[in-house]
Amino acid sequence: MACIEFITRLHTATKRDYLGRVNADDKSACAEVSLQWGKDYWDGDRKFGYGGHHYDGRWRPVAEAMARHYQLSDDARILDIGCGKGFLLYEFTQILPRARVEGLDISQYAVDQAKDEIKSQLRVGNAKSLPWPDDCFDLVISINTLHNLYIDELWEALAEMERVARGARYLTVESYRNEREKMNLLYWQLTCRSFYAPHEWEWIFPQAGYGGDHAFIFFE
């Protein structure tokens, strides 16, 4: 299990007004809307989530770096847990033309709005119970999803992620290294249920049976 960075450049490219997130609106009410995982979260006002989640090609370098690092074959089978609209999976199909990609997300809206090229390969479901048999995938990824689960659900999801993989596993979760980052995370997040420092996450992973790679997203 290693800490490997693939997406910090994307994360830090977004500017965030942490205090504005808290002071401009009733943040608890906004979070209630966000947790419905519907249109407001993906394509509504920024106070509810993404503020418009559209394909722009930014995930291509991430897919290329992962394919290169994990030495994926051209026909690799790849699963994205928390795939959203499937933009990262689409990029895998562009760089690995025979790749077999599948995705799962809690949001019916996201799956319905996915890129047409891969929509049929996405399904609605919960990370704690994956609808695939053991040892299915050459790469299983989960980007900024598992911190949205309560600890009991998180434990199940990590075990499931391990179960369906026959190859590499990689996840990213939100975390904090100091009090400033902790407060920024609390100010900014709308859906996070599991708040842990890196050393706590790294204790949880093997306890839950997860042996894959990981990285952390920080709110500096």
What are the tens digits of pLDDT across the range 102-155?
A: 999 999 999 999 999 999 999 999 999 999 999 999 999 999 999 999 999 999
The backbone torsions φ and ψ at residue 164, rounded to the nearest 5 degrees and listed phi first, read -85, -5
Q: CB under 8 Å to 96, separation ≥6 — which residues?
A: 67, 72, 73, 74, 75, 76
Q: Which CATH number fits domain 8-28+58-217: 3.30.565.10, 3.40.50.150, 3.40.50.2020, 2.60.40.2550?
A: 3.40.50.150
Give the separation between CA 176 and CA 174, rounded to whole angstroms: 7
Q: What integer pLDDT is reported at residue 119 of this predicted model?
A: 97
Q: Kindly indicate the confidence band of residue 189, based on its pLDDT and cuts at 50, 70 and 90.
A: very high
- pLDDT tops 90 at residue 71: yes
Predicted local distance difference test score (pLDDT) of residue 13: 86
pLDDT tops 90 at residue 14: no
Mean pLDDT calculated for residue range 88-112 = 97
Structural domain boundaries of the chain?
8-28+58-217
The percentage of residues in the chain with a pLDDT greater than 70, rounded to a whole number, is 100
Instruction: Give the model confidence (pLDDT) of 26-50 as tens digits.
Output: 999 999 999 999 999 999 999 999 9
Q: Which of 211, 82, 72 is nearest to 141 (CA)?
A: 82
Say if residue 1's pLDDT is above 90.
no
- At 197 the three-state DSSP class reads coil
Q: Which residue has the tokens 């919960």?
A: 126
| In 40-131, beta strands by DSSP E | 77-81, 100-105, 122-124
